[in-house]
Amino acid sequence: MADITTFVPIRNVLWSGKNIITMTATTAVKAGMLVAINATGVSGAVDPCVATGTPIGVAINDIAAGSTGPIATAGCVVYMNNFSTSAAIDAGDFLIGDDAEGTGMVGAVTTATTPQAIIGVAIDDIAVSSSGRVLLTPGSYTYHA
């Protein structure tokens, strides 16, 4: 499975929902990126999420490093990027952050032997190298195969 190497910002990230929080980006974040808690002793801070992060939501706008910005979280429906250039996401798939070089993108949960942090459920079929709607459910599920 091939990964997208550069994150493509999403315009009009928020499709619906009002559960928006303000967080500080410790590194630059682009609109539509999945973000995770910065767990290095900094309160209220996020970074672009990779597979090992604790995802909490999606940046609605670009946020410069050291600046604050809006993060869509539980219950919001947002547009997100599929990290893969070869595997589509089906509506109904549980989604996780991926370790793609582009960071901040999602992929479908596949057979796994370890728990994974689910960020949401795909509402749309999301083609390879494309974006689609996701209902955010951070921290709601873990998956064990």
Tell how far CA 118 is from the center of its chain: 10
More confident residue, 86 or 53: 86
In percent, the amount of the chain with pLDDT more than 90 equals: 54
Overall size of the chain counted in residues: 145
Query: In the structure encoding, which two tokens stand for residue 6, read together?
Result: 């550069």
Its domain, for residue 131, covers 1-145
Give residue-wise pLDDT tens across range 90-135: 999 999 887 766 688 888 887 665 667 889 999 999 998 889 999 9
Say if CB 76 and CB 27 are below 8 A apart. no
> Could you give the number of structural domains in the chain?
1
Longest dimension (CA), the chain: 39
In percent, the amount of the chain with pLDDT more than 70 equals: 86
Is residue 144's pLDDT more than 90?
A: no
